[in-house]
Amino acid sequence: MKIKSLFSELVLIFAALYAKAQVLNIQPKRLDSLLDCLYTKHQYMGGLTLAQNGKIVYSHVNGFLQVSPVDSIPATVTTGYRIGSISKVFTSVMIFQLLQEKRIRFGDKLSRWFPRVPNAQKITIANLLNHRGGLSDIKAVPGIEYWIHEPHSEAEVLRVIETSAIDFPPGDRASYSNSGYILLSLILERATGKPYAQLLQERVTTPLHLGHTYYSTSRGTRPEESFCYNYQNGGWQPVTETDWSIPQGAGAIISTSGDLALFASALFSGKLVSPVSLQRMERITDGYGMDLVIMDCPKQPAFGHTGGMDSFLSTLTYVPADQLALTYTSNGQAMPMDELIKKVFAICYR
């Protein structure tokens, strides 16, 4: 046992020394070459941004907003992508703002707003924030893969959650939950009397001057919204999308890699929540924080989140030691996203 303990300590020491030895060295030309090469080989479409000390130091976009046999529309730095579950970080930020304002409490029970949800009298806001509520996720509902492609009202989405199964007692363990963050987004609305879109604008996007980040429950809000694709049969083929009315605060935000980088920089520099709140968001239990996770990066610690919806993929990684934000948005991916991000980090860290 002592030998095993000593070995474990040595592994941790060497891992810490390795992480500390990683030196940030952003090389724009090498990054351009990598991304252009991958795009030429049909491995992805999308945008990558690096920001340091709150300022964008690198940005690159490849691909199309919309692919058409006649007139495909090229993507630009203002092209909007569905960021999927990274939306949960925005939702968490606004929940923490209400907690700081004492308008809600960690221990508030779900029954205060949604008494018909199973175990509502036991599930707390804290449980929802770190995925420990115990409700079966909305994605696990039988037949949901067909239901999500049609528009539904908020009441209809809530009804699905109200008929969910109970997977485990609240607080017993963690299991990733879109249902929990849909409920949190609805709590935001009920606690403030304002719609989520207005809250996002007032509390996040306007103060940070994020002109290309917004919440929408229907497509067509802005002309720069991208569509998603898979590469097959020699070209980018359209993918059927989840209806925008379904994910709500768990995944209905549209953004750019540039805006996400500025959002990440602001969050980790204390411009959105207090240091105590940020520490709570970062505290990992059973793999999940509130709602941050540990990200794969040569230098640790690194926090963030990934997003995936249909063929839209995104990632947000922040490295506190270097005040570095790496953000990525994509509407077409052949190479696994984590492999692409690893290649980017391999260029940036030595």
Domain contains 14:
no
| Rounded Cα distance, 104 and 101, in Å | 8
User: For position 9, what pLDDT does the model report?
Assistant: 52
* pTM score of the predicted model: 0.93
Instruction: Tell me the mean pLDDT in the region 119-148.
Output: 94
The 10s digit of each residue's pLDDT in 88-100 is 999 999 999 999 9
Task: Please check whether residue 214 is in contact with residue 205, taking contact to mean a CB–CB distance below 8 angstroms.
Answer: yes
287 pLDDT above the threshold of 60: yes
| Rounded Cα distance, 257 and 334, in Å | 19
Q: What does pLDDT average to over the chain? A: 94
User: For position 8, what pLDDT does the model report?
Assistant: 45
Domain contains 280:
yes
Report how far apart the first and last C-alpha atoms of the chain are (Å, whole number). 36
Read off the CATH number of the domain in which 125 is found.
Answer: 3.40.710.10
142: pLDDT confidence band, cut at 50, 70 and 90?
confident
10: pLDDT confidence band, cut at 50, 70 and 90?
very low
Tally of structural domains, the chain: 1
User: For position 6, what pLDDT does the model report?
Assistant: 52
Nearest to 99 by CA among 179, 176, 191, 189: 191
User: For position 11, what pLDDT does the model report?
Assistant: 44
The 10s digit of each residue's pLDDT in 62-87 is 999 999 988 999 999 999 999 999 99
Task: Please check whether residue 205 is in contact with residue 168, taking contact to mean a CB–CB distance below 8 angstroms.
Answer: no
Percent of the chain scoring above 90 in pLDDT? 90
Domain contains 2:
no
The pair of structure tokens assigned to 25 is: 């060295």
Top-ranked range on mean pLDDT: pick from 7-11, 58-62, 145-149: 58-62
Domain membership of residue 129 as a residue range: 25-348
